[in-house]
Amino acid sequence: MADPHHNSAILAGVRERFAESTDFTVGLEEEFQILDPVTLGLVNRFEDLVAAAPADLRPHLAGELIASEVELKTSAHARLGDAALELARGRIALCEVADELGLALGATGVHPFSPWTQQRIIDTPHYRLVENELGYVAWTNNTWAMHLHCGIRGADRAIQVATRMRSVLPELLALSANSPIFGGRDTRLASTRTQTFIKSFPRCGIPDAFADWSEYADHVWWLERAGSITESTQIWWSVRPHHAFGTIEIRICDAQTELSDTLGIAALALGLIAEYCRRIDDGETLTTHPRSLIEENLWRSERYGLDGDLIDLDTGRTRPTRTAIEDLLGAADTHRDTVGLGPWLDRVPDILVHGNGAIRQRALLDALGGDVRAMHAHVVERTRASAHEVLTHHATGVQR
């Protein structure tokens, strides 16, 4: 039988790319706000920042829709620790470039006070396409995220793991929530970024469950034939197969001020991916949950972060979000050594005890008498300092 997708430009060569992929290679991406160092408002200086970057750093920088944002991405690594080192060094190098230009960098899921009307869309073919298609939805998407890429060998296996990872996206969001302040006020959400981006963009958020590569490819080919998409990156799901890299990409998490938080969240996600691959390889059928049920938990994580309850999707009972994450931590921990998660996985219990970025922002804002700019000044300081701490403590495996 002829391949029903043989005319698809989007799917060309992708199944083969997954066949050649290596299990559990890891790449990390972080998005940063480009700021005026005095006002701490957003400034449209992406092109200047990239042009001033040293030659070895420049290939690891990318634009992300608006000119007041820059993405730092690592190479693919066999071990999380190597990606951690590259990310820490990259953060520091990028901060130094910003210093030279009279700029500052910060990392939270949304900027706490700069208006979207003052941000410029960058001039690239992809983002011209996004702006032309989405208009207001693109203009108002002033958000910052962290992404994890994980290599998985085999297209069917990758789709099965991505489908299973849908169910734990709310836990990963709750752990990473870092955007409670927006428009100069507390939104009462732990992750305003989730509302601003995931609830606005098309083909975003929780995808449907796909049983295998063929079912996924049918969906992509349907969108392509219908004229909805012309490239795979117009599918913005919170977990998706990445066609160019042969990875699955976790995209649910807010940008993290503390680099150790980025690495802890990445370690948890990587450990879960490894666990689901093990179950597949052992002949188990992974549990699949309806999107509508996962959405119930996603809302709870968006609203309450770590301080709420999540529904056990198998029993329908609720339990504290921290307990739900602890359960996932146990599954991930079985792969600590084989996938190289230590010492980063140890950061997760610390976040559960001391709070995530949203909790820290609110506490700091309260301590500062509601001074949003002073709160964001602390974010800028920690964005750089936490990278130095990761480098300092990496050799001993100790994290702050």
Give the pLDDT score at 6.
67
Helices (H) and strands (E) in the chain, counts: 15, 13
30 with 71: CB under 8 angstroms? yes
- Report the alpha-carbon distance of residue 127 to residue 150 in Å, rounded: 25
Return the number of other C-beta atoms located less than 10 Å from residue 258's C-beta: 25
The pLDDT of residue 396 is above 70 = no
CA 358, CA 301: separation in Å to the nearest integer? 11
Residue-wise pLDDT for 20-79, tens only, equals 999 999 999 999 999 999 999 999 999 999 999 999 999 999 999 999 999 999 999 999
Mean pLDDT for the stretch of residues 319-330: 98
With tokens 């049983």, the residue in question is 211
| 8 A C-beta contact, residue 256 and residue 262 | yes
pLDDT band at 398 (very low <50, low <70, confident <90, very high): very low
Q: What is the CATH number of domain 14-394?
A: 3.30.590.20
Segment 203-227 mean pLDDT: 97
Confidence at 399, pLDDT banded by 50, 70, 90: very low
Mean pLDDT of 124-144: 95
Q: Give the rounded distance of the alpha carbon of 141 from its chain centre.
A: 15
> Which pLDDT belongs to residue 394?
72
The stretch 235-239 carries a mean pLDDT of 98
The tokens for 27 are: 């790449």
Categorise residue 89: left if φ over 0, alpha if ψ from -120 to 50, beta otherwise.
alpha
Tell me what the pLDDT averaged over the chain comes to.
96
Cα separation, 232 vs 223, whole angstroms: 10
pLDDT of 400 above 60: no
Query: Which residue bears the tokens 């980063």?
Result: 344
Please, which pLDDT band fits residue 393 given cuts at 50, 70 and 90? confident
CB contact set of 201 (below 8 Å; sequence gap of 6+): 134, 137, 141, 236
Helix (H, G, I), strand (E, B) or coil at 113: coil
| Chain Cα centroid distance, residue 17 | 23
